[in-house]
Amino acid sequence: MLENANELLKILRSFVTFSHMKKYSALLFLLLLFFASCKQIKTYDSFKSMNTYISVQVFSSSMRKGAEACAQVREKILSLEQLLSTTIAESDLYAVNNSSGESAAVHAAFEPLFDFSKMMYEKTGGLFNPALYPIVREWGFTTEDYKIPSEEMISRLLTLTDFSKISIFPSGDKDLPFFLKKQRGMQLDFGAVVKGYAGDEAVKILSERGIKSALLDLGGNIHALGRKSDGSLWSVGVKCPWNPEDVACGIKVESKSVITSGGYERFFVGEDGKTYIHIFDSRTGRPVEGDLESVTIVSEKGTYGDALSTSLFVMGKEDALRFWQENRDFDFVLITKDRSLVYSEGLKNAVKVIYPFENVIVAK
């Protein structure tokens, strides 16, 4: 694509005489307008939400169009935070978690994320579980006041983590149209999926506004809309778990989300000298101690990728591969503790390996 009208004029002059240019001046003028309109202007926004930094790059035909799209994205993400935060006292989720009874009223926007979470809970055999909040809090990951709970405490809290016991049903109130019913003492946290969901909602807004090219970064959750403004694919880096400042590999994508889960960014070292990460196994009530350093999911929907990256991390390498072979509606990159890289065959021409791994395996 030509960058500006002057470049077009230079090219035309090399082929057409001045007299011919005068003769076809109307046509040339229309061509100039066409190529000028094709130039994509970058608009950028960044802000803090959902306990992370969010950046939005939008490429559009005008600065005004890009700015309006960015403003709408910001508004949407902030509104989701107000709905789904565990700490904002006015949020629906806070009301659910701190309800003195068994149910609390929630807005209509709460329903799709709850329904999706219930589906993923069943699909992963409970490994994706938003009801782990009481256990995560007891370990100190919500306050950074870290501690290792007793086995008795873990066992007691595990009785409050059966997500299948939570249901949503109409309330009859047009302002708060649903009730979320739960076992007394249960508390929820959608942190393992909310950034992916917010990214999907943002991409939807941009698409509806006619934006063809954009890149969103929600605390490391990447959502690519279309291709780059020059027509090339987006290149997304996957962090090296042993040195997160470096990139382990790059992935070329178009209109995909790229979402990674790993234990190398949030963890603490206990009094016993062991490292405990922030990703929990719902079967044990303890941080995962598996054979994976990170799981990256490449999928059309970030909500799905966000949930899967956590779930496959909990599964471990072999069960993660088995899950993919049974579903195959996403692609993945696994980085293992024995310094191997495993990725799905759908990414065969998209992955560029940078770190000197011991083994690089393409799963089929």
Q: How far apart are CA 228 and CA 278, in angstroms?
A: 34
* pLDDT higher than 80, residue 116: yes
pLDDT of residue 100: 78
- The residue type found at 113 is L
3-class DSSP assignment, residue 334: strand
Percentage of the chain modeled with pLDDT above 70: 90
pLDDT of residue 98: 92
pLDDT of residue 19: 45
pLDDT of residue 12: 42
What's the mean pLDDT in 222-242?
97
* pLDDT higher than 50, residue 130: yes
pLDDT of residue 38: 56
What is this structure's pTM? 0.89
Phi-psi region of 227 (alpha: psi -120 to 50; beta: other; left: phi over 0): beta
The string of pLDDT tens digits covering residues 321-350 is 999 999 999 999 999 999 999 999 999 999
pLDDT of residue 87: 93
* pLDDT higher than 90, residue 161: yes
3-class DSSP assignment, residue 315: helix
What's the mean pLDDT in 140-157?
96
| Residue given tokens 């405490």 in the structure block | 153
* pLDDT higher than 70, residue 28: no
Contact 231, 106 (CB under 8 A): no
The string of pLDDT tens digits covering residues 251-288 is 999 999 999 999 998 999 999 999 999 999 999 999 99
Strands of the sheet containing 178-181, edge to edge, are 103-106, 178-181, 167-170
pLDDT of residue 25: 52
Q: How far apart are CA 89 and CA 314, in angstroms?
A: 31
Greater confidence, 155 or 1?
A: 155
Burial class (CB in 10 A: 0-12, 13-18, 19+), 310: buried
Greater confidence, 13 or 222?
A: 222
Mean pLDDT of the chain: 91
